[in-house]
Structure 1
Amino acid sequence: MSKTLFIDGEWTASSTGGSFDVLNPADGEIIGSAAEASTKDIDEAVAAARGALSAKEWRDITPAQRARILWRVADLIEANADELARLETLDQGQPLGVSRNLNIPGAAEHFRYFAGWCTKIEGATSPVSIPGAFHYTRREPVGVCALIIPWNFPFMTAAWKIAPALACGNTVIVKPAEQTPLTTVRLVEILTEAGIPAGVVNLVTGGPEAGRALTEHAGIDKVSFTGSTEVGKEIVRASSGNLKRVTLELGGKSPSIIARDADIDAAVQGNLMGNVFNSGQVCAAYSRFYVDSARVDEFAEKMATAAASLKMGPGLNPDTVLGPLNSAEHLARVESHVKRAVEAGAELRGGGSRAQGELANGYFFEPTIFTGVTDSMAVAREEIFGPVMPILSYDDADELVARANDSDFGLAAAIWTKDLNTAHEMAARIQAGTIYVNMLPAPDPAAPWGGYKSSGWGREMGPQAIEEYTELKGVWIGGLNL
C-alpha cells in the first residue's frame, strides 16, 4: 500500500486503500504509486492542521525560530539537489538542466527569501482623530491553508506556496497534482527533517475529488491554487461556503511583441526558448507572436529553422532541450489544437506532429510554428500549454496594443525592442501582471507574480505574498491622554 499521505506527523496509506500509478512521461512506464486520499483522510488532515495552528509548538515559537527552520529547509534542498532534480525530471519530464539549474535551486531560494520575512512582518500605528484613542494594526496568520500544486513545476511551485504560508505562521495541507506527486512527497520529508512540528504541514495525494474536498471544506481558511482557469472558477464557487480567502494563478496566452527595430536574432532565440521551455508547459510561455510586418518573414523563417534544430528526447538525457509533454491526455489536447489550426487556415511552417521512432512511446510533440494566423483563430486565443507558436503580423502600434489586450488572459507579455520609449509605453498599456522586455519569462522570489483578468486573483512571491497569507487586525485602545 502506498503511504504518501502525511497527516499530523505520520505517513499513512489512504483510509480506503485506494492508490494510483505515477508514470514517466518520457516512455509511459510506471515509476511509482501514490495514495488516493478519501474524504475521511481530508477531514483528518484539516483537523491536524487546525490543531497545530493553536498548539504551543507552533503558535509560540518566535519569528526568528521560524526563520531558522525555513533556512534549514533551503539548506536541505541544496544538500539533496541532485536526487531532487532527477526525481523531478523522471516524474514531470522536464530536461535535467531545467530541474537542476532552475527548478530545485529556485525552490531553495524561495525558502530563504521568506525566511527573511519572518522577522519583518510588522503592523503600524494609525494617526486616528478620535480624542484619547490609540490605534495600531497587527498581521496575523490566515489559518489553515490548502495549497494545490500544478504538474508543470511541482517542486518550485510547492516551495513558493509553502514558504510564505509558514513564514506567516499558518498551517498547511499540500495537494500535488496527481500526475506529479513524487517530489512534493520528498519536500514534505525535508520539511519534517528541518523541524516543522507535527500537523503544521500535511500532505494529501489524489485527483480532482481530493482537491474538491479540500476547497469545499469548512475547516479551510484559504486556498492557493495554480492551474487552469476552468478549475480556478470551480474553486471560487467552492470557496463561497465559508468565504475562504483565495489566491489563484491561472492560465495565460502571453503576447510577445517584436518591434521593427528589434534585434531579430536575439528575438528569435528568446521567443523560441520562451515558448518551448519545459515543452511549452509554462503559464507565462510566449504563445502568440506579433511581429512588425516588415520583419515577419525573416522572423518566421529563422524561428522555423531554429525550432527544427532543437534536440528532443527524455529529460534525463544530458543533451535534451525539448522533453515530453506531461501526460497522454495533454499530448492529445495539444495535437487537437494543432489540427484545428490547420483546418482554420493557418500555414504550418514546421513541426505539427507527435514524435515517432524511438520516442513514440513517450508524450513528445514537435515544436510547431504557424504563420498566416489571424486574431480570431483558436490557436491565437486559447491556452495550448505546449510548443506551439502562432505568428501574427502588425503594421500599426496603436492597433497592436488593442490586439494584444483582446484576450481573456493577462498573466504576462513580452516586448522586444531597442527603444526604451517603446518598451515603457508598451509596458504601461498592455494588460498583464508581468511584462518582460528583451528577456525570457522567469519568476523570482522577490518579485510579485500573478495576472489580470482570467489569469487569476492576488499575487504570489514578493512582499505581496505576505499580505495574501495574513489577516490585518486593527486594535483600538481608549481612555488615554495622548
Structure 2
Amino acid sequence: MTDTIKLVSPVDGSVYAERAALDEAALAHVVAVARKAQADWAQVPLDERVAYCLKALDALKAMNPDVVPELAWQMGRPIRYGGELGGTIERTEYCASVAKDALADIVRTDRPGFNRYLRRVPLGIVMVIAPWNYPFMTAINTIMPALMSGNVIILKHAAQTLLVGERLAQAFETAGLPKGVFQNIVLTHEGTEKLLGSGVIDHVNFTGSVAGGRAIEKALAGTFASLGLELGGKDPAYVRADADLPYAIENLVDGAFYNAGQCCCGIERIYVHESHFDKFVEGFVDLTSQYKLGNPLDEATTLGPMAQARFAAWVRQQTEEALRQGATAHIDPALFPAAKEGTPYLAPQVLTNVNHQMSVMREESFGPVVGIMKVKDDEEALQFMNDSPYGLTASLWTEDADAAAAIGDRIETGTVFMNRCDYLDPALVWTGVKETGKGAALSEIGFHNLTRPKSFHFRVKH
C-alpha cells in the first residue's frame, strides 16, 4: 500500500496538496540515476555548472507571482511580503560570484622539482532535507553551491511545503539541467531513515529540530556520510545603554515577529540595559500592538497563522507557564480577534518579569512571543545570552563597535550582529554551536563543506 503525504493548510485547515511517497523500488531508481549523473556532471566545466544554476534562478523569478500565494497557503506567510525571491537571488548570485575562487586549486611552490596542489572535488550525492519555514532559501543555501561544486542533489522537502520541491525541480528542468542532477522526492520519515542508513548518500544537509537532527545522525551512523545540521535556536538581543532606542525597537519587533516568529534566527529573548528598560518595553509593546493578524492572502495582513496548530499550542503553553510563574503579559488578546484557541492563528505576545527558569526564556518557541529582561551591565547581559543550550546568532544594539566586538568575542554563537538581526549574509558563514548543530553553509566555507580536499603530489623528472 502506498503512503500518502498530506499538506494541511494553516489558512483554513484544508488539505492543500497530497502526494504519494516513493516506494523502495522507485527510490532505488532515483539513487541509481543520481549516481550515474554525478560522474558526468562533475566533468562539466565550472562556468557551465554555474550558468545552469543562474538559468534556474531566472525560472524561479518568472514563477514568483504564483509562488507567493502558494507559500501563503502552505505555511502561512502573508502575501504582502512577496515570498523569498529576494534572498534566493542574493544567495544564488553570491555563490555564482565566488565559486571560481572557492573551488580554485591551492598550489604549493616551495619545493623545486615538484608540482603540488590541493583540489576541491565533489562529494557525490548530496541529500537536502529542507524545512518549511523558509522553504526556498534554506534549500538554496545547499543546493546552489553543491551543484556548482559538481555534486548532484536529491531534495526531500518538508510535508508542509511539498510544492516548493516541485517548484525547484521545475526551475532546474526549465534551465535544461541534465537528467538526474537534481531530483525532488517525497518520502515518509521511515523511508528517509532507511535511505540514510543504506550508505548510498554522501552528504546530508538538514535544517530542523534538535530531535530531528539526532534522528538523522543516528540513521547515518556507520555510513561515514558527512553531515550539516542547523537545528534549534533561542537567539538573544542585548540593548546597551548607548543604543539608538527607536531604531532598536523598530528592528527588534520585526526580528521577533516576522513570519509569525518562525525564523531560524528570529529574536526570542531580549536583554535591555536598566536605563532604557521602561521606554524600550513601552515602545516595543506599542509597535507590536499594531500588527494585523489574519488570512495571509489578505494584503492588509501583517501577521499570518503559524504553520500548524500544534506549533501554536506549544507557544500558548510556554506563555501560560510563564504567566503562572509570575511573568507579565503586555499585549491584550482582544486586539487580535482572529486569534482562536486550537487554531494556528496566534496573537503576538510580549512578556516581562521573566527569568531563566521559564521555558519561554530557555527553550525554542519558534512563534510570536518574546521575553524581555532588565540587565545592569554588559557582564550580566553576557551571562544571560550564554545561558542557553543553543547558539545560532546574537544581536547587539550599540553605537560602540569596539564594545560590540569585545562582547561578541565572548558570546557562544555562530554569528554576532551589531544593529541588525534576523538576516543571513551570503558572504559570511552560516553556522551554529552547541545544540544548534554543526557544519556550515554560505560563503567560501559553504563550498568547502560540500567538497573534499584531494592532494596532487607530482615529482618532475629532468
Per the normalisation by structure 1, the TM-score is 0.90
| Cα separation, 1, equivalents of 2:310 and 2:331 | 23
| Cα separation, 2, equivalents of 1:184 and 1:331 | 25
Match of 1:104 in 2: 85
Cα distance change on mapping 1:216 and 1:292 into 2, 3 Å: same
Cα distance change on mapping 1:365 and 1:353 into 2, 3 Å: farther
Question: Residue 227 of structure 2: SS of its match in structure 1?
Answer: strand
- What's the CA shift for 1:261? 2.0
1:111-122 superposed matches below 5 A: 111-120=92-101, 121-122=103-104
Which range moves more in the overlay, 139-148 or 85-94?
85-94
| Cα separation, 2, equivalents of 1:216 and 1:36 | 18
1:309 aligned to which of 277, 285, 290: 290
| Cα separation, 2, equivalents of 1:124 and 1:358 | 57
2:411 aligned to which of 398, 409, 430: 430
2:375 aligned to which of 394, 404, 408: 394
Question: How many pairs are equivalent?
Answer: 461
| Cα separation, 2, equivalents of 1:109 and 1:179 | 25
Match of 1:76 in 2: 59
Match of 1:171 in 2: 152
- Given that 1:148 and 1:211 are in contact with CA atoms closer than 8 Å, whether structure 2 keeps it comes out as no
Match of 2:108 in 1: 126
- What's the CA shift for 1:405? 0.9
- What's the CA shift for 1:368? 0.7
- What's the CA shift for 1:341? 1.5
| Cα separation, 1, equivalents of 2:240 and 2:22 | 51
- Given that 2:113 and 2:461 are in contact with CA atoms closer than 8 Å, whether structure 1 keeps it comes out as yes
Report runs of 4+ in structure 1 exceeding 4 Å deviation: 351-362
1:364-379 superposed matches below 5 A: 364-379=345-360
| Cα separation, 1, equivalents of 2:185 and 2:382 | 44
- What's the CA shift for 1:255? 0.8
Match of 1:30 in 2: 15
Match of 1:224 in 2: 205
- What's the CA shift for 1:127? 4.7
1:348 and 2:348 matched:
no
Question: Residue 91 of structure 1: SS of its match in structure 2?
Answer: helix
Alignment-mate amino acid for residue 24 of structure 1: S
| Cα separation, 1, equivalents of 2:461 and 2:67 | 57
Match of 1:452 in 2: 433
2:139 aligned to which of 144, 155, 158: 158
Alignment-mate amino acid for residue 389 of structure 1: V
| Cα separation, 1, equivalents of 2:110 and 2:215 | 41
1:405 aligned to which of 386, 393, 397: 386
1:414 and 2:395 matched:
yes
Question: Residue 151 of structure 1: SS of its match in structure 2?
Answer: coil
| Cα separation, 2, equivalents of 1:235 and 1:353 | 42
| Cα separation, 1, equivalents of 2:20 and 2:86 | 28
Which range moves more in the overlay, 335-344 or 322-331?
335-344
| Cα separation, 2, equivalents of 1:138 and 1:382 | 42
Question: Residue 179 of structure 1: SS of its match in structure 2?
Answer: helix
- Given that 2:5 and 2:188 are in contact with CA atoms closer than 8 Å, whether structure 1 keeps it comes out as no
1:245 aligned to which of 206, 226, 232: 226
Match of 2:76 in 1: 93
Cα distance change on mapping 1:188 and 1:335 into 2, 3 Å: same
Question: Residue 161 of structure 2: SS of its match in structure 1?
Answer: coil
For residues 167-208 of structure 1, the C-alpha deviation after alignment (integer angstroms, 9 at most, x for no partner) is 001011101011111122111111111011111111112342
Alignment-mate amino acid for residue 415 of structure 1: L
Match of 2:443 in 1: 462
Cα distance change on mapping 1:280 and 1:210 into 2, 3 Å: farther
| Cα separation, 1, equivalents of 2:441 and 2:329 | 37
Match of 1:13 in 2: none
For residues 343-365 of structure 1, the C-alpha deviation after alignment (integer angstroms, 9 at most, x for no partner) is 22222222569965587785111
- Given that 1:134 and 1:480 are in contact with CA atoms closer than 8 Å, whether structure 2 keeps it comes out as no
Match of 1:12 in 2: none
- Given that 1:95 and 1:315 are in contact with CA atoms closer than 8 Å, whether structure 2 keeps it comes out as yes
Alignment-mate amino acid for residue 348 of structure 1: A
2:47 aligned to which of 58, 64, 85: 64
Question: Residue 181 of structure 1: SS of its match in structure 2?
Answer: helix
For residues 37-89 of structure 1, the C-alpha deviation after alignment (integer angstroms, 9 at most, x for no partner) is 334433332222112112x3x23322121121111111111122211222122
Cα distance change on mapping 1:110 and 1:166 into 2, 3 Å: same
Question: Residue 312 of structure 1: SS of its match in structure 2?
Answer: coil
Match of 1:42 in 2: 27
1:290 aligned to which of 271, 277, 290: 271
Cα distance change on mapping 1:331 and 1:354 into 2, 3 Å: farther
- What's the CA shift for 1:274? 0.4
| Cα separation, 1, equivalents of 2:325 and 2:233 | 22
Please, which runs of 5 or more residues in structure 1 have no aligned partner?
Answer: 1-15
Question: Residue 204 of structure 2: SS of its match in structure 1?
Answer: strand
1:191 and 2:191 matched:
no
2:185 aligned to which of 196, 199, 204: 204
Give the fraction of aligned pairs with identical amino acids, expressed as a percent: 31
Cα distance change on mapping 1:215 and 1:343 into 2, 3 Å: farther
- What's the CA shift for 1:118? 4.5
For residues 128-179 of structure 1, the C-alpha deviation after alignment (integer angstroms, 9 at most, x for no partner) is 66x8543211111011111010010111212222101100010111010111
| Cα separation, 1, equivalents of 2:338 and 2:148 | 49
| Cα separation, 1, equivalents of 2:105 and 2:419 | 38
Cα distance change on mapping 1:224 and 1:358 into 2, 3 Å: closer
Match of 2:6 in 1: 21
Match of 1:141 in 2: 122
| Cα separation, 1, equivalents of 2:118 and 2:461 | 18
Please, which runs of 5 or more residues in structure 2 have no aligned partner?
Answer: none
Alignment-mate amino acid for residue 38 of structure 1: D
- Given that 1:188 and 1:203 are in contact with CA atoms closer than 8 Å, whether structure 2 keeps it comes out as yes
- Given that 2:312 and 2:343 are in contact with CA atoms closer than 8 Å, whether structure 1 keeps it comes out as no
Which range moves more in the overlay, 143-152 or 206-215?
206-215
